[in-house]
Each structure stands twice: as C-alpha cells, then as structure tokens.
Amino acid sequence: MTVKPNHVTIKGIKDGLVFLLDDKCEFGTLLEELRYKLEHSHQNILTGPIIHVDVKLGKRIVSEDQKELILDILRQKGNLLIRSVEMPELEPAADPLETLTTMCGIVRSGQVLHHEGNLMFLGDVNPGGTIACTGDIFILGSLRGMAHAGVEGSEDAVIAASYLAPTQLRIAEVISRPPDEWENRETSMEFAFLRDGKMQIDKISNMLRIRPDFIAFKGV
C-alpha cells in the first residue's frame, strides 16, 4: 500500500527529532501515515541510539486517548524517547457568574437601563420602565415594565423575575404583550424564553431544562 507522505514531517534538530503532524487531515489518516513512515523511512536514524522526540500537532486538539495512540506508535521504535507533545491549549469555558453584572435600584416610568452582557437586577422595574440587555436578564424583584433580552439578536437569552407581570417582554426580535398570552397564570418566580420562535413562560425551577449552562445559578 502506498501512503502519500504529506501529513507527517520528520525534522532533525540539534538534540533530537521533531515530528510535525498535519492538523487538517483525518486523524485515522494521520496515524496510518505515521506508522508507515516509522516503518519505511529514516531507518538509519530510527534504529540507532536513543533520540529525544518532540511532537507538534499544530492546531489539532486531541483527546487523551488520541494522544496515547500517537505515542504508542512512536514508542514501538525503542530508541525514540518522547520529550514533549505540543498542541493548542483548550480555553476554559466562561464561568456564567463571572459574566453576570449585578445592579440594584428601581427603574421608574420613563427610565431605560441599558446593559452589555448578562444582568442581575436587585429591585423593581415599574410600569413604563425598561431594562434592555444584550444577554440574559434576572430580576430579583418585580417586573411590571418592559424587559428586552438578547438585544443584538440572541434568541437563547432569557428573562427571569421574582414577580413577572410585565407590560411587554422581548427576546431578540420576538415581542409578547400580556395579558393576551398569559392572563391565566401565576406570576411568581418565572422566566421567559423562546421555543420555535415563540415566547414561552415557565417556572424558574425548570430553567436548567432550557439552559443547562445555568447550573451555576442553582443557588440564586
């Protein structure tokens, strides 16, 4: 079988070898070529004394199991001593608590509170008052005015309040005005979200079903 030598490059450096592994090809193809090259090329080097090896994966991110598959192939050559494996670091997922801004007060009639990101508001939004956020809105108090979450188009945004009795709710471009949709319901500890492009209301205790990333807010 002929394997095109395009995905594995072996370079000699002052104190060892560098294996440059293509980060765009299929992982199985990469393993196949790595095995082939170790068996059919550089035999004068790969059968000599101990050689330190640095493996560079480019932009490819591999699991621990995939990493071990690569190393197992290299270890079959007894004179290769793996010194390092270089790949991009995974950026940690943003902690929702770190991206949540807390404000307190009262939003009175005629006032508009604009915020970039997610907002926890401790206080009441009176009729005629408005809160508008690019992210989610959490109100520990009464929402009797207007709330607009996902101002820049995020349909995953939610609006939650201790007492939810708004004059208008808006998520992204979807607008809902009570009491047409929600006149027969309880109003305490609820949140609004979009499902299939339509505004829905549910108990805050069910928020994790809609947004599993809110596990950090369970105690709020």
Helix (H, G, I), strand (E, B) or coil at 118: strand
CA distances from 110 to 45, 105, 126 (A): 78, 15, 9
Please state, as a whole number, how many other Cβ atoms lie within 10 Å of the Cβ of residue 171: 26
Q: What integer is the mean pLDDT of 156-161?
A: 94
Residues whose CB falls within 8 Å of the CB of residue 60, separated by 6 or more in sequence, listed in order: 21, 22, 23, 27, 87, 88
Helix (H, G, I), strand (E, B) or coil at 207: helix
Same domain for 34 and 80, yes or no, is yes
The pLDDT score that the predictor gives to residue 1 is: 44
Same domain for 118 and 212, yes or no, is yes
Q: For strand 198-203 and strand 168-171, is the pairing parallel, antiparallel, or unpaired?
A: unpaired
Q: CA neighbours within 13 Å on the CB side: how many for 112?
A: 4
pTM: 0.55
Of all residues in the chain, what percent carry a pLDDT higher than 90? 50
Report how far residue 196's alpha carbon sits from residue 212's, in angstroms, rounded to the nearest whole number. 18
The total number of structural domains in the chain stands at 2
The two structure tokens encoding residue 97: 């608590």
Q: Is the pLDDT of residue 61 over 90?
A: no
Q: For strand 137-143 and strand 16-21, is the pairing parallel, antiparallel, or unpaired?
A: unpaired
Residue 116 included in any domain: yes
Which CATH number is 210's domain given?
2.160.20.70
First to last CA, the chain: 61
The two structure tokens encoding residue 31: 């393993």
Residue 38 included in any domain: yes
Residue 194 included in any domain: yes
Same domain for 108 and 194, yes or no, is yes
The pLDDT score that the predictor gives to residue 38 is: 85
Quickly list H helices, 52-181: 64-75
Q: Among residues 86, 109, 141, which one ends one of the domains? A: 86
Q: What integer is the mean pLDDT of 153-169?
A: 93
- Which range is least confidently modeled, 15-24, 91-100, 153-162, 200-209? 91-100
Residue 57 structural domain: 8-86
The pLDDT score that the predictor gives to residue 218 is: 36
Q: What integer is the mean pLDDT of 193-209?
A: 88
The pLDDT score that the predictor gives to residue 211 is: 78
Looking up tokens 């995939």, which residue turns up?
Answer: 66
Average pLDDT, the chain: 84
Q: Among residues 86, 117, 149, which one ends one of the domains? A: 86
The pLDDT score that the predictor gives to residue 158 is: 95
**Amino acid letter at 87?**
M
Q: Is the pLDDT of residue 58 over 50?
A: yes
Q: Do the beta carbons of residue 57 and residue 84 sit within 8 Å?
A: no
Report how far residue 89's alpha carbon sits from residue 218's, in angstroms, rounded to the nearest whole number. 29
pLDDT tens figures, 81-124: 899 999 887 665 555 545 789 999 999 999 999 999 999 999 99
